[in-house]
Amino acid sequence: MTRGPDKPGEDDPGPGRRIGVDVGSVRVGVAMSDPSPMLASPLQTLRRSARDDSDVAQLAELVAEHDVVEVVVGLPRTLADRHGSAAEDAVRYAGLVRHRIAPVPVRMADERLSTVSASRMLSSRGMSAREQRAVVDQAAAVEILQGWLDARSARIDRSGTGGAASEPAGSSEE
């Protein structure tokens, strides 16, 4: 089941909150955007449960609770642009989420080195490896989601569709 990343801004649902997801074998990091959507922030870490998929149910609850319009799941790829077992697991996880939250779209985003980058950022802030364990998955989810939001914004700016930043014609007050 080989799958490439989606393109931010394609079939865009417009303004609204997005959730970013970093899928790990033990934990799932979750980040959420503001409604505009411009800024990603850490939300929480879910304990992964392959036995009953309770983490998928928790994620679906967050989507409903926050009126999320799009979920972005990190797709780990090697530097040689190949898929490994982690990528296959992320694709499977995205499928489970997609089934639970339809019609909210679930996208796959290239997440090469997001956890490495998040760990470096946390280390530079003086956090020990032990302290990082609790938040590194959230920080990686922030990296995934912020990258998606930035690329989405750039694509919308280039295409001239305006996206969340524009108002419909005739709606501005003079």
Q: What is the pLDDT of residue 50?
A: 78
Packing angle, helices 136-159 and 114-124, rounded to 10: 120
Give the pLDDT confidence score for residue 33 in this predicted structure.
98
The arrangement of strands across the sheet holding 70-75 comes to 40-47, 27-33, 18-23, 70-75, 106-110
**How much is the pLDDT for 56?**
97
Q: What is the DSSP letter of 16?
A: S
Domains of the chain: 18-161 (3.30.420.140)
Q: What is the pTM of this model?
A: 0.83
Block means of pLDDT (10 residues each) for the chain, 174 residues, are 82 96 94 97 93 95 98 84 84 97 96 64 67 75 94 86 43 36
